[in-house]
Structure 1
Amino acid sequence: MILQLLQNLTSRSGIIIILAFLLSKNKTFKRLVTKKDLSLVDKISMSILFGVFGIIGTYSGIKIGVAPGSDAIANSRVIGVFVAGWLGGPFVGILSGIIAGLHRWVIDIGGFTSLACGLSTVVEGLIAGYSSRKFNNVKTDWIWALIMGAFSEIVQMMIILVIAKPFNQALSLVKIIWFPMIFVNSIGIAVFIGITQQIFLEKEQVAAEKAELILKIANKTLPHLRKGFNTETAKLTAQIIYDMTDIDAVAITDDEKILAHVGEGSDHHKSGSIPMTDLTYKVIKSGKYEVAKNKEEIGCKYEKCSLLSAVIFPLKERDKVIGTLKLYKSQKPGITSLDLKLAQGLAKLFSTQIELSKIDYQRKLLVQTELKILQAQINPHFLFNSLNTIASFIRTKPDKARQLIIHLGDYLRQNMTVNQDEIDIYKEIFHIKSYLAIVHARFGDKIKIDFDIEEGLKIKIPPLILQPIVENAVKHGLKNINDGIEIKIIAKDEGEYVKLSVIDNGVGIEKSILEKLFLETDNDSCIGLRNVDKRLKYKYGSAYGLEIKSELGKGTTINIKIPKLKANTKGGIV
């Protein structure tokens, strides 16, 4: 009898699993189970949904006759209720348990096990809810779900023995159903959780692909937008987006006219056109994005325009709207949520790049006029890579992610401190450690870092002197190095000056490049080192520039001498 019950219960619980699989393809269900912060409405909706799963589990159960007039139901009601608590927490677990448990009691009021089964359903929802809190790092881990599901079913058997009367009939029932229900339902719970796990993995994969696409677009558009925000750079940027996505048309505007339009509609949405669509003006005025779901909402005055939907995001320089990015679709289903996120990511990225182009322009002016401090720039690729690294640790190592966020904040804060003449040397070292902590998290064992910093150094140095050198060692040292790279940073008191050294065993610098390293050229790969050299010579004199020793294939050593004498304002020391 037990074997037959096991077979029947397995086949009937399969109904719930099939429904779970079909439901996992529903967009609304996906949004609900992957949402981080559930509202009260979300929790109630989730409770009702999984409560219905519990009711289905009851109706698909198998009637067991223990004695005349003492029937019970071997069922899979717990699957829906347990999954509700596991995914939604205690509130959802209890409420869905009440829904399914109350239904079990109502359909057989006064029945042999109706009260025990109804109560145990609520208890199992509660167990699942608090279990998900305890194992919140593995919320969708089917192994833990299997274990806790089996435990909750054991609890149900105990409740039946305590509440169902007479006891000898309750004991006879438990002897029959305990193994089939614990075995089948715990596996059913694990399978259900495994299905939801695929939803999380699918979401992460889509997010990763979207991030990768945005970064690829960033790599291609960065050289253009760094030259400024104008018709030429906008056209090249729009063309890149159009070529790399399935968007039917891409447009970029400033706050007055269309700078570029690539794709469908380019015959009448022409560069330099005034006026633009009404929706574009609305975005420029409000500073908030808009989605047009039809031609009328787009507001194009051309009757034969084939563009059916659009998303428009503002491009900002700080808090000021300076233009818009527009993505169009000419076919149904129109603009999707992925298109919306793509536009949002690109708009933020381009706004940052446009701001960086202004900073780059200011830096060139400062170099030409030989001001004391050259504008330091945050490398956007490093920033994006840092954010991706942090994102990868958030689920697996949240404590590590928090540490990296602190390091990134310290790094960015120091990078923005360009209005100080001098900072304490240990503050600069701290800045380098923040940078390298993020780099080490990204590359792992491929990069080894060693600090040899003498204690008690009482000297101040120009800000952002070491960081470009260390960044250069990381960037170029890792090229073609399969075994990784070792970087050593040394600070020693040499009497009249403090000697700072950055030593790596990377690919080294070719002699021909080394000879032209400090010449004013368009070689952007050397601009960081040139800036450091210029700043040192301006502050301390021509004898205090960078000393670089490099051998191809063996590594590079860069030395800096910081004199212990006060710098004057004319590029020498006194």
Structure 2
Amino acid sequence: MIKALYNKHQYFFNIFAVLALLVITRLLDGFAWYPPYPDKTKSLLLEHLFQFISFFPFIFLIIYTYGWALKRRTKTVIYSLIIFYAVFAPLFVLCFSTWLEITLLRAKTLPVTLKLIEQFTPGAGMVILFLSATYFLTYLKIQSASQREAAHNAESLVKDVQIKMFRYQINPHFLFNVLNSIYTLIDENTEKAKKLVLDMSDYYRYTLTKQKECVSIESEIESIIKYLEIQKTRFEEKFQYEISVDEAVRPLLIPSFIIHLLIENAIKYGTKTTKQKLLVNLSVKLVKKDLFIRVSNTGKLLELPTNNEKNTEGTSNGIDNLKNRLALYFGDNYSFSLEEVDEWVFATIEINNIITQ
């Protein structure tokens, strides 16, 4: 519970601890160097307690304003805030702690003069700079932890992708259907059977070979054509496909198998939701620096199961996995949509500012 509370409010606890340490250090310094005078201990304790109280609001100001500046990613604003706090915070602390002494203790204190400000400012300014440094060190620590967590999640995701990929690659149902088709065609149409064997061989050569995490769109399309030709041989006149790919996009790199998943889903669920001829279209276009990948098929959009329902088809997991991989490679520069319009299902991936060289 304490660890969870600390992790949630790391900035506050770290800056609070540093402030407490610095005030205690200044207190001990006062005990060591101030000459003896009546009620020295009580006077120093109260003086530094009031200083601590005066510094305390700056913990929240630092956390809020530096956080705001870092989100804006403007160095000028960050530097300006650091200078502002280092210059004006000591004046506030001196005036407020003096007011506390007068108000609470009814004590006579030295008036806040220019000379007193000059004496107080360097030490108090260093306290503020230490608090600022603590904030940025905590920020770097949190960022480093986030990057390590992201790297761990990415590694786990890659392993999960590899496991699911091999399940997808060696789909027994798909393989048995293809083998049955070959067996039927051997006597009916030998040339067609030979072509089906070659297509299946090329397809599995691509899918079973250890793939790089990213592949060219051209390589992905070549494998997809083999897959679609296999399906065309299986379904004959009940299936038709069309592919449109801009030449400019062919060398571009994308995470492997993301288009495969969309094509497989289009055929798998298209055959379940339409009694007419299944039409599957693939379009890959580059508009300025934005890549658009769209897979459409005749049929209806099946409602994906919720998190509480058992997913026997694996579609939701497949789409979630696809989104996670896109987020891993492209961050916020991508979008994915799945919709049904006029008995057509459209799955669209848009990647903004894709690297074209």
Structure 2 unmatched ranges of 5 or more: 1-151
Please state whether the residue corresponding to 1:426 is helix, strand or coil: helix
Question: Are 2:212 and 1:420 equivalent residues in the alignment?
Answer: yes
Residue 269 of structure 2: aligned partner: 476
Aligned AA for 1:506? G
TM-score normalised by structure 1 residue count: 0.32
Residue 327 (structure 2) pairs with residue 534 (structure 1): no
CA shift for structure 1 position 556: 1.1
1:371 aligns with 2:158: yes
For residue 508 of structure 1, what is the aligned residue in structure 2?
Answer: 301
Question: 3-state DSSP class of the match of 1:374?
Answer: helix
Q: CA deviation at 1:441?
A: 0.9
Q: Which amino acid in 2 is paired with 1:459?
A: L
Instruction: Establish whether residue 546 from structure 1 lines up as the match of residue 336 from structure 2.
Output: yes
5 Å-filtered alignment, 1:167-566, equals 369-371=156-158, 374-375=161-162, 376=165, 377-378=168-169, 379-457=171-249, 458-510=251-303, 513=304, 516=306, 522-525=310-313, 526=315, 527-551=317-341, 554-565=343-354
Q: Which one-letter code corresponds to 1:473 in the other structure?
A: A
Aligned length: 197
Structure 1: distance between partners of 2:239 and 2:225: 13
Change (3 A) 1:417 1:486: same
Is the contact made by 1:372 and 1:539 (CA closer than 8 Å) also made in structure 2? no
Q: Which amino acid aligns with 1:410?
A: D
Cα offset for 1:387? Answer: 1.0
Instruction: Deviation per CA, 1:112-135: give whole Å up to 9, x if none.
Output: xxxxxxxxxxxxxxxxxxxxxxxx
Q: Which residue in the other structure is 1:314 paired with?
A: none
3-state SS of paired residue (2:280):
strand
Q: Distance in 1 between matches of 2:333 and 2:351?
A: 11
The aligned runs of 1:3-152 (5 Å cut-off) are: none
Which amino acid in the other structure matches residue 236 of structure 2?
Answer: G
CA distance in 2, matches of 1:456, 1:491: 10
Change (3 A) 1:422 1:412: same
Deviations 1:421-471 (A, max 9, x none): 211111111111111111111111111111111123231111111111111
Query: Residue in 1 aligned with 2:85?
Result: none
1:561 Cα shift? 2.3
Q: Distance in 1 between matches of 2:281 and 2:344?
A: 11
The 2-side partners of 1:490 and 1:395 are apart by: 37
Task: Check whether the contact 1:386–1:442 (CA below 8 A) recurs between aligned residues.
Answer: yes
Q: Cα–Cα, structure 1 residues 408 and 521, in superposed 2: closer, same or farther, change >3 Å?
A: farther
Aligned-pair RMSD on alpha carbons?
Answer: 2.7
Report how far residue 495 of structure 1 moved: 1.3
In structure 1, C-alpha distance between the alignment counterparts of 2:211 and 2:200, rounded to whole Å: 20
**Unpaired segments ≥5 residues, structure 1:** 1-364, 568-574
CA distance in 1, matches of 2:348, 2:186: 38
CA distance in 1, matches of 2:180, 2:154: 33
The TM-score with structure 2 as length reference comes to: 0.50
Percent identical pairs in the alignment equals 27
Give me the whole-angstrom Cα distance separating, in 2, the residues matched to 1:372 and 1:566.
Answer: 25
Bigger share in helix: 2
Q: Is the 8 A contact 2:252 2:355 kept in 1?
A: no
